A = this chain, B = another copy of it.
Amino acid sequence: MIHQERVNPSSTSMRKILIQIDSDRQPSVFDAVVALDAGIDHLLPYGGVVADQVRDLVHGAIFTRGPQDLKSTAIFIGGQNVAVGEALLEEVVKAFFGPLRVSVMLDPNGCNTTAAAAVLRAAKHLDLPRSRALVLGATGPVGQRVCRLLARRGAQVRVGSRLRDRAAQVAERIGTAAGGDRLEPVVAGSPDEVAAALEGRDLAVAAGAAGVQLLPVAQWSACKSLKVMIDLNAVPPLGIEGVQVTDKAKDRCGVLAYGAIGVGGTKMKIHKAAIARLFESNDHVLDAESILQIGLSLESQGG
C-alpha cells in the first residue's frame, strides 16, 4: 500500500474533473448539481456544444494527465435533444487515441437514467422474463430505451406508436440489438387501439412527449391483467390518466402506479452511482444497458 503510493503519488491525490458537454445553450443545472453531489471535485461546463467542437474538448481531456490518472477525468453528455447527444457521444469516442481515453456517460434529457429507473421499479413487482409489457410513446428517445432494457431483461414488449411504420422500424432495430424476437410493434393511437394493445399486459409504461395523454383511465382500469403502470411524464396532463406525478407504487384500482417523481428517487440514485462509476476506470462508455446494470448492482447492495 505504502509502496504503491510511493510509486504513483499523483493518482491518489488527483482531483476528479467532470467535463459537462451539453447541446443546450445553457448547460443543465440539474446535471451539474447531481454531479457535484456524486462527489466530483471540479465541473467544467460547456453549453451549446456542436459536433465539430468535440474533438478539441476531448483532446484537452486525454492529453493533459498521465495514463494512470486519466480515470480522474470524465465526460458527461447532456442536453434536451437525445439524438444530438448520441451524435456528440460518437464524436467523443472517435476522438480517443487507443488507450488515451476517458470514461463517458450519455444521459441527455435524463433518458438513460429515467429508462433504467422505470425498468428497476417494474422489476420490484414483476418477474421481467415472464412479463408482458406495453410501452407507449415507445419510438421516442426514452421509450426506445425502455423497450431495449425490458427486452434485454427478458420481457415481451409491445412497441406502441400512433404510426405503424415507425413502431415497426423501432421494434426491428431494437430487436436486432437486443438479440431476440421479444418486440412486437403495435399501433396505439385511438382509445380502441390502446385497449387492444394493452390486452394481456401486466406492465404499461408511458414515455411520450410532455403533456400528451396516452392512456385514458377507461382503458387501463378495464385491463384485468395490468399490475404495474409507470408514467414518465412530469408535466400535466400526464401520460396515464389518473396517475399522480408523485405516485410511488400507489395502488390505483388494483394497479400499482408510478409517476415521474415517484420514479425520481431511483433515477437520482442511478445517476449519482453512474457518475461515481466514471471515475473507477478510464474506459467506461455508459449508455442505457450499462446504466441499468449500475442500477441493478445498487439494488443487489440493498441501495
Contact = CB atoms under 8 A, between A and B. Distances in A.
A56 B63 CA distance: 32
A60 B53 CA distance: 25
Nearest to A13: B37
A64 B33 contact: yes
A252 interface: no
A223 interface: no
Interface string A8-42: 00000011010100001110111111101100001
Contacts of A59: 29-30
Contacts of A268: 64
Nearest to A268: B64
A62 to B, nearest CB: 9
Nearest to A61: B29
A26, A30, A48, A60 pick with most chain B CB within 10 angstroms: A26
A2 interface: no
Contacts of A32: 17, 44, 60
Interface string A54-73: 00111111011100000001
8 contacts: A17-B32, A19-B29, A25-B53, A29-B60, A33-B60, A33-B64, A33-B73, A37-B65
Query: How many copies of this kind of chain does the complex include?
Result: 3
A20 to B, nearest CB: 10
Contacts of A49: 26
Interface in A215-252: none
Nearest to A60: B29
Nearest to A265: B66
A171 to B, nearest CB: 33
B37 A56 contact: no
A31 to B, nearest CB: 7
Interface string A267-288: 0100000000000000000000
